[in-house]
Structure 1
Amino acid sequence: MSDSTIAASEVQAIAQKLLDAPPTKQIQLLQQLAEGGETGIQALIDFLQARQNQPPTIAMGKAYQLLIQQDYPQAQDFVRNTLPEGVVPLQSDRNMDYRQLQEQLAQADFLKADRQTAQKLCELGGEMAAKRKWLYFTEAARLPVTDLRTINTLWQVYSEGKFGYSVQRELWLSAGKDWEKFWQKINWKTGNKWTRYPNEFTWDLSAPKGHLPLSNQLRGVRVLKEILTHPAWQNDTSDQ
């Protein structure tokens, strides 16, 4: 439990600013609230309570991450009783359990979350994919829309919007679908040298945008292409 570093009046002012702030500014303001002692923690709780029935956002993910780091009883009680599984609804068309992935991402354990993501995609790909532990591009094309969206939302919400397949898709499209430019942009390749797994990858938010989650690019681009052009993103018109 950290000492309060801002006054209660400042907490109220910060909470008011949150209402109209853009997402990146909200992240900064939420971090300030976490330094406001019990009053700040209650403001984080109020922020999440007011948004319980809304689609998850990166600000909601950040507020949840800040709360699970706190020793304050009201923070622990709120998380345990109101958000026991996090802020992202864990929807699945295959009865897949994403609780562990949500927990890993909420705790910013991106290496474990990346491995868990790969495992879940293989399980979604079918018995043979789960056994061999990697996907054929035809299996990637048949991944359930609901599940791929859930996995993507988890990555986005708990990475301050930095990671996720939709983020990678946006970067790929902005690179003109040029894979070499894309690899360089997300730091999967430097010059002619592939980034080596796992030690040369960056497993925290200092990584370039779109750096995570990984795919086995050494098997070629077809699996990742199927993911980035998947029907899960059919409402995205950025490639039109």
Structure 2
Amino acid sequence: MKDISGLNHPIYSESEKNQSKLIPQLLKEGEAGLETLMDWMISLGKESDNLALGQAYQTLYLDKNRRTQEFLASNFPHGVVSLKSEHNVDYRPLQELLAQQDFQRADIVTLQKLCELAGSAAIERKWIYFTEVESFPIEDLLTLDKLWLMHSEGKFGFSVQRRIWLSVGKDFSKLWTKIGWKAGNSWTRYPKEFTWDLTAPKGHLPLSNQLRGVRVIDAIFAHPAWSQTN
């Protein structure tokens, strides 16, 4: 019989990519596998950047089993991301939508949170000026980004979009195609033509350019927050 107990299990020592593959295998092992998975999650803690932790949390969150829900409520009451905010912005609604994989509503709430960071004028107009982005606290932008990263298996987030943009020589027209916002000369139409699940191209979400133009997304990519993650 395969040993799936304690620190002997490979999930403690494997790469992040292989850990992700082990999660569904553990859940097939019944109670012993679930115990190992939960112990491993606790060992990482919610400060971890491990994307496999996000996947594990996601799996248990959607399971709706009483045991798993009690475990999450006790050990990860606010998810696997510390919801830090210099401006006291409440990111719990966004965390809940992302945990539910409701990416369309999460995208709307992300813009609302960006407006909160920009101030009362942006909240009233419901969109942001590129000039307001530079005043966003590093802590808040990183919180938003990590929420998207951890709940998308690393597929979505500002930092993902930025890396793709850098990989295509900062060419926005190439970026739009890469992340599925444009096909040929045709812009992807909101909301029906966007893909609101994990089958989307990498970097597809969130819609940080507010559907048109480059000034806001360019300002986000220029933010000093990313100097802490590169």
Settle same-fold status: TM greater than 0.5.
yes
Q: 5+ residue gaps in structure 1?
A: 1-7
2:84 corresponds to which of 57, 78, 91: 91
Instruction: Give the conservation status (yes or no) of the 8 Å contact 1:162–1:209.
Output: yes
Q: Distance in 1 between matches of 2:45 and 2:4?
A: 21
Q: Following TM superposition, by how much is the alpha carbon of 1:217 offset from its aligned partner in structure 2, in angstroms?
A: 5.0
Instruction: Give the conservation status (yes or no) of the 8 Å contact 1:122–1:135.
Output: yes
Q: Following TM superposition, by how much is the alpha carbon of 1:68 offset from its aligned partner in structure 2, in angstroms?
A: 1.5
Query: Is the aligned partner of 1:168 residue 2:158?
Result: no
Q: Distance in 2 between matches of 1:14 and 1:211?
A: 37
Q: Following TM superposition, by how much is the alpha carbon of 1:10 offset from its aligned partner in structure 2, in angstroms?
A: 5.9
Matched residue type, 1:68: Y
Of 29-38 and 79-88, more deviation after overlay is shown by 29-38
Q: 1:116 to 1:66 in 2, by over 3 A?
A: same
Q: Distance in 2 between matches of 1:168 and 1:88?
A: 20
Structure 2 matches for 1:84-233, cutoff 5 A? Answer: 84-233=77-226
Q: 1:196 to 1:149 in 2, by over 3 A?
A: same
Of 226-235 and 48-57, more deviation after overlay is shown by 48-57
Instruction: Give the conservation status (yes or no) of the 8 Å contact 1:166–1:233.
Output: yes
Q: Distance in 1 between matches of 2:8 and 2:222?
A: 39
Q: 1:167 to 1:110 in 2, by over 3 A?
A: same
Q: Following TM superposition, by how much is the alpha carbon of 1:131 offset from its aligned partner in structure 2, in angstroms?
A: 0.6
Q: Distance in 2 between matches of 1:20 and 1:220?
A: 45
Query: Is the aligned partner of 1:58 residue 2:51?
Result: yes
2:30 corresponds to which of 24, 34, 37: 37
Q: Distance in 1 between matches of 2:36 and 2:100?
A: 21
Aligned residue for 1:224, secondary structure, equals helix
Match of 1:3 in 2: none
Q: 1:68 to 1:236 in 2, by over 3 A?
A: closer
Query: Is the aligned partner of 1:22 residue 2:15?
Result: yes
Instruction: Give the conservation status (yes or no) of the 8 Å contact 2:16–2:52.
Output: yes
Identity %: 50
Q: 5+ residue gaps in structure 2?
A: none
> Could you list the runs of 4 or more consecutive aligned residues of structure 1 that deviate by over 6 angstroms after TM superposition?
none
Q: Distance in 1 between matches of 2:200 and 2:62?
A: 22
Deviation readout 1:75-106 (Å, 9 max, x if unpaired): 12111112111010000000111111111111
Of 49-58 and 62-71, more deviation after overlay is shown by 49-58
Q: 1:234 to 1:15 in 2, by over 3 A?
A: same
Q: 1:73 to 1:11 in 2, by over 3 A?
A: farther
Of 58-67 and 208-217, more deviation after overlay is shown by 208-217
Please report the TM-score for the alignment, with normalisation by the length of structure 1. 0.89
Q: Distance in 2 between matches of 1:212 and 1:146?
A: 20
Q: Distance in 1 between matches of 2:135 and 2:89?
A: 15
Matched residue type, 1:60: L
Deviation readout 1:164-190 (Å, 9 max, x if unpaired): 000111000001000110000001000
Matched residue type, 2:140: D
Instruction: Give the conservation status (yes or no) of the 8 Å contact 2:46–2:80.
Output: no
Please report the TM-score for the alignment, with normalisation by the length of structure 2. 0.93
